[in-house]
Amino acid sequence: MMYATPLRRTLTALTATTLLAGGLLLGQTVTAPTATAAGKKIVCNVDKMRQDSHALRAKADKLQHLGATAEARKARGQADALDRRIRSCIDADDNHKPWN
C-alpha cells in the first residue's frame, strides 16, 4: 500500500479548501438580492441636471480666475459626477426593455 506524501496531502487539502470557499462565495453572489432604490421609481430630470452641471462649471471657472484652484477642482469634480449621472440616466432610458 502506498501512502500519500505530506506535500501531496497538503496540496489536496488546499485545493479542496479553495474549491469549497470559491463555491461558497459564488453561491452568496448568485443568491444576493439586487440593488434597488428602495422600491421607488428613479426619475432623472436631465434638463435640470444639465443646468446644475453648467452652473458648477461656471462656478469652477470663476474660482479658478480668483485663484482658488482646490475649490475649482472640487466644483469641476462635482460637475463631472453630475455629467456621469446624466449619461447613465440617458443610457438607462435608451436600453430599457419594457418586455422584461
Radius of gyration of the chain (CA): 26
Distant-in-sequence, close-in-space partners of 53: CB < 8 Å, separation ≥ 6:
79, 82, 83, 86
For residue 56, how many other CB atoms are within 10 A of its CB? 20
Enter the pTM of the model: 0.55
- Residue 10's pLDDT is 79
Please name the residues in contact with 92: beta carbons below 8 A apart, sequence gap of 6 or more.
Answer: 44
> Over the stretch 22-47, which tens digit does the pLDDT of each residue have?
775 656 555 554 445 566 666 788 89
Percent of the chain with pLDDT over 90: 41
